[in-house]
Structure 1
Amino acid sequence: MILTGSRLEVMHFVGEKVEGYMKEFLKPVETYWQPADLLPDPTQENFLEEVKLLRESARELSYDYMAVLIGDTITEEALPTYESWLMEVEGVNQADYDQGWSKWVRAWTAEENRHGDLLNKFLYLSGRVNMRAMEQSTQYLISDGFDIGTGRDPYRNFVYTSFQELATNISHRRTATLAKQAGCPQLSKICGVIASDEMRHAKAYSAFIREVFAVDPSEMMLAFEDMMRKKIVMPAHFLRETGTKIGETFSHFSDAAQRLGVYTTIDYIEIMESLLNEWQIETVTDLNDAGQRARDYLVALPARLRRIADRTRIPTLEYPFSWIA
C-alpha cells in the first residue's frame, strides 16, 4: 500500500505498530540491568575495597581513552535535549500520554538514561576525572542544545537515529575491547552492556524506516538522501569546556577517537553501507523521478566517500582536556 498523504498520515499508520516494537526492542524495567548492578555496592562491607580495585584498574587507561570515555559520558548525559527534540517531531504528540510514539520516546529515553548514569558513577569512582569540569561541559551541552539537520521531519529523524545508534554501538563496543586489553574488565563489561542497548535501539529505528519505505518510498528516499548530503553530525557536536567556543572541544574529542580507532571515517562509511543493505535501497520500487535520482546518489556515495577517506590524515597532537585529572 502506498500512502499519498502527509507525514502525519504515515506516522499515524506506522504508530499503530509501535507498541509491538516496544515489546520487541525494549526491556522490562523490573528484570533488566540498572547501573547499581555493575558498580561497587555501598551497602556492603567490602565497598571500599571494591572501589580501590576499580581505581587501580582505571590507572592503566590511556589519556586518549579517558578523553573518549568522558566525551561519551557527556553525550549520554545530554538525554534531556534528545527527548525534548524527539517530542517535537511531526506525528509525536506528547500531550497524548497513551499515544504510541510518545510512549516510545519516553521508554527509549528511560533506557538510554541509564548509560550516562552508569558511566558517570564509574568515572567519579575512578579518581581520574576532574568531575566539576566534566559536569560544566554536560551543562553547557544541554543548555546549548543541538541542530542535527532533521527539523521536525520524522523521516529525517529516523535516518539520524538509525545511523547514530549504530555509531554509538561501535564506539562503546570498541571502548569495551580497549578496557579489557588495559586490564579493566569491570569497565569492559559496562561499555559492553551499553553497546548492546544501542544495537537494539538501532534495530528499532531501522524497522521504523522499513515501515515508511513500504508506504511512502519516494519521500523516504529523498529524506535519506538529504541527510547523507548534509552528513550525519554527532549529537555532541556542540561540546565545549569552560572558556572555549561551542564545538571546539568536540573536534579534539573526535581526534582522540580517531587515534584510538574507537570511531573513524571508515566506520561512518561502513554504517552507511550497512543501512543501504538493511533497507535494500537498490531494489526499492514505486519511486518517482526524484526518488530514483536520490537512490542513485545514495548507492554511489560510499565509494566516493572511501576515495576521500584515503586522503584523510589522523591528527597526532594530543589536546589537554580540562576533564582529566
Structure 2
Amino acid sequence: MHLSGRFDMREVERTVQRLIRDGMSFPGPVTSPFHGFVYVTFQERATAIAHGNTARLVGARGAGDAMLARICGTVAADEKRHEVAYTRIMGKLFEADPDAAVRAMAYLMRHRIDMPTAFINDGRHSGRDFYARFIAIAQQAGTYTISDYRSILEHLIRQWGVEELTSGLSGEGRHARDYLCALPRKIQRMEEKVMDRAVRAQNKPTPIPINWIFDRTISVVLP
C-alpha cells in the first residue's frame, strides 16, 4: 500500500487512529472465557477465508499480481493456524462444560458476529453506515460474503459436535443447541433474499467515493 502510490496513506492512517479512539466491536459483554474463545475462533476462520479469497482474486490470470497473491495467501495461512489453536481450546471447553459452551455460542450468534472493526469510519460516515459500505463491497467482490458466514457456522457446529450434544445440558442449553442447529438454514434464506435484491438492483448501483483511494468511486449495490 505504501509503495504502490495507489492509496492515500494519510487517510488510511486517520481511519486507523479513529478506530483506536472508538474501540473494537464485540457482541455484548464478555462474561466468560467461553464467549471470548467462540468469538476469536469465528473471527480467525473469517479472516483466513477473507484473505484466501483476496489471494485468489488478486492472483487471477490476466488481472492480478502474483506477489500480492502470495502475501495474502501467507496471511491466510497464519490466520488458519490461529483458528486451529482456538478451535481446539473451545473444543476442550465443550468437553468440560457443554452447557456453558453451547449457551455462549448461541448468545454470540444471536447478537451476530461482526468484524472487530465494525466501528471503523472515514470521518464522513461513522458507525454502522461506513461499515455497511465495506460489507457491501466485500460481498460484491467476493472477498467475504454471507455464504462464508454461514459456512463458518456450519463448520464450527460440526467441529464441536453441537448437534450431538445430549447430556449435561440444562433446558436453556437444549434451546441454545436447537437454535444453533436451525440457524444455518435461516441464514441460507437470508442469502437467497440478498441475491434476489442484488439482481433487482443490479441496474441501480450506488457510487461510493472511497477516500483511501483518493475518492475514486466504487459502484456497489447497498443493502
TM-score range, shorter chain: 0.7 to 0.9
Q: Which secondary structure state, in structure 1, belongs to the residue aligned with residue 213 of structure 2?
A: coil
1:240 aligns with 2:121: yes
| AA at the equivalent of 2:12 | M
Percent identity reads 38
Which residue of structure 1 aligns with residue 24 of structure 2? Answer: 146
Letter in 2 for 1:139: Q
Shift of 1:150: 4.7
Among 158, 166, 173, which residue is 1:277 paired with?
158
Unpaired segments ≥5 residues, structure 1: 1-122
Question: Aligned match of 1:301 in 163, 173, 183?
Answer: 183
| Mapping for residues 167-316 of structure 1, pairs under 5 Å | 167-181=46-60, 182-284=63-165, 285-312=167-194, 313-314=197-198, 316=205
Aligned residue number for residue 132 of structure 1: 10
Per the TM alignment, residue 245 of structure 1 is displaced from its structure 2 partner at its CA by 2.0
Segments of structure 2 that go 5 or more residues without pairing to the other structure are 215-223
Instruction: Quote the residue 1:161 is aligned against.
Output: 40
Write the distance in 1 (CA, Å) between the matches of 2:190 and 2:211: 33
State the shift of 1:194 in Å: 0.2
Post-superposition CA distance 1:15-67 (Å, at most 9, x none)? xxxxxxxxxxxxxxxxxxxxxxxxxxxxxxxxxxxxxxxxxxxxxxxxxxxxx
Question: What is the aligned counterpart of 1:324 among 204, 210, 213?
Answer: 213
In structure 2, what residue type is equivalent to 1:323? W
Q: What amino acid sits opposite 2:58 in the alignment?
A: A
Q: Deviations over 1:84-139 (max 9, x none)?
A: xxxxxxxxxxxxxxxxxxxxxxxxxxxxxxxxxxxxxxx00011000001100000
Residues 25 and 115 in structure 2, CA contact (< 8 A), matched pair in contact too: no
Q: Count how many residue pairs are aligned between Structure 1 and Structure 2.
A: 203
Are the equivalent residues in 2 in contact too, given 1:256–1:318 (CA < 8 A)?
Answer: no
Matches of 1:125 and 1:256, distance apart in 2 = 24
For the residue of structure 2 that corresponds to 1:318, the secondary structure is strand
Once the two structures are TM-superposed, the CA of residue 246 in structure 1 deviates from its matched residue by 2.6
**Equivalences for residues 64-79 of structure 1 within 5 A:** none
In structure 2, distance between residues paired with 1:247 and 1:257: 15
Deviates more, 1:177-186 or 1:124-133: 177-186
Partner Cα distance (2:130, 2:103) in 1: 33
Report if aligned partners of 1:133, 1:242 keep a CA contact under 8 Å in 2: no
In structure 2, the residue matched to 1:14 is none
For 2:28 and 2:156, how far apart are their aligned partners in 1? 18
| 8 A contact 1:176–1:192 mirrored in 2 | yes
In 1: Cα distance, 2:122 partner to 2:4 partner? 21
- Contact kept, 8 Å, 2:98 with 2:169, in 1: the verdict is yes
Q: Distance in 2 between matches of 1:136 and 1:248?
A: 18
AA at the equivalent of 1:137:
T
Q: CA deviation at 1:244?
A: 2.7
Whole-Å separation in 1 of the counterparts to 2:52 and 2:207: 23
| TM-score, length-scaled by structure 1 | 0.60
Distance 2:127 2:190 in 1: 27
Further displaced range: 261-270 or 146-155: 146-155
Give the Cα separation in 2 of the matches to 1:174 and 1:147.
23
Shift of 1:220: 0.8
Read off the aligned partner of 1:286 and give its amino acid letter: G
What SS does structure 1 have at the residue aligned with 2:3? helix
